[in-house]
Amino acid sequence: MSDVTTCSFASNAKRWSGQLAQIAAIVMVVFLAKGALAEPFYVPSASMEPTLLIGDALLASKFPYGYSTASLPIHVSLPETGRVLASTPKRGDVVVFRWPGDRSQVWVKRVIGLPGDRIQVRSGVVWINGVATAVKPDGLGAAEDDNGGSEPARRYVETLPDGVSHPIFKLYDNGRLDNTDEVSVPAGHLFVMGDNRDNSADSRVPVRSGGVGLLPMDNLVGRVDAIVGSWDIGVSKQTVSNWLSGFRMARFFTTVH
């Protein structure tokens, strides 16, 4: 009788160990995929409107710029050793990165300046290497806020020197970040900005003041390629029965430019 019991216990243990090994393998594959291929992110702020809205779920590809400790799907305090298979982003790319002020935080902005560029903002217009970006009026929009409300915003289409065009919002005629000193982007760094120009703490603002400053490329996580889902947080203040109406189906599985 004890032999039968022993064999049964051994059989169950073997089966459980096999299942645990399968689960561990699945977790490892998911972890490696998130670390090497792509990772989802959620947009919690309005700084990239109208391109990205609060409540958008993004998919960021990690391989375009190579890999560093910032590429890991969880924040690990490891010394920086540079990037493997490194590649410089293109001007106009929307990138996800670890904020220099606290690398546990992940932010998203648009690349405006590359290493060696001279960047300045004059009267709200971005100048790159002494040339003003082309800005064309594109009607009115509504800029969301973190509480689910909105305010009117003038919409423009900005065209960067390399030909990349994208929409931007302007809330004020003379915002506090509409005029800056010219800065030179050093090697290994980027100048990034939010598309919501009067509501973005970006490279125009130093890290000590809550901005990004000049972004080290070692902090890059990946390039935003697509919106895979979107939900209007303003609906959360309504009854639960209305929450399904908050899904912005038109934004599901759309590309980001």
- Return the CATH number at 88: 2.10.109.10
Residues 29, 44, single domain; the answer is: no
Report the domain count for the chain: 2
* Whether residue 122 sits in one domain with residue 100: yes
Per-residue pLDDT, 24 = 43
pLDDT along the chain (257 residues), means of 10: 48 53 43 53 93 94 86 63 83 96 94 98 97 97 83 96 94 94 97 97 97 96 94 76 83 93
> Both 20 and 137 in a single domain?
no
Q: Residue 178's pLDDT is what? A: 97
Same domain, 178 and 251: yes
Distance CA 144, CA 137 (A): 20
Give the whole-angstrom CA distance, residue 238 versus residue 43.
Answer: 21
The residue segments making up the domain with residue 22 are: 1-36
53 and 143 belong to one structural domain:
yes
The CA distance from 30 to 28, in Å, is 5
CA pair distance 29, 180, nearest whole angstrom: 46
Active site annotation includes 109:
yes
Locate all alpha helices (DSSP H) within the chain, ordered by sequence.
Answer: 2-36
Residue from 45, 71, 109, 203 carrying the catalytic annotation: 109
Same domain, 20 and 99: no
Q: In terms of domains, do 78 and 199 share one?
A: yes
pLDDT for the residue numbered 142: 93
Q: What is the pLDDT of residue 9?
A: 46
Q: Say whether both 139 and 24 belong to one domain.
A: no
> Which residue's entry shows tokens 């300046």?
113
Q: Are residues 187 and 218 in the same domain?
A: yes
Looking at the structure, tell me whether residues 98 and 118 fall in a common domain.
Answer: yes
152 beta partners: 142
Same domain for 207 and 90: yes
> Among this protein's residues, is 47 annotated catalytic?
yes
Spatial neighbors of 69 by CB under 8 A, at least 6 apart, are 76, 78, 80, 81, 218
State the virtual CA torsion across 209, 191, 40, 73 in degrees, nearest 10. Answer: -70
Instruction: Tell me which of 47, 71, 200, 230 is the catalytic residue.
Output: 47
- pTM for the model stands at 0.81
Q: Are residues 58 and 159 in the same domain?
A: yes
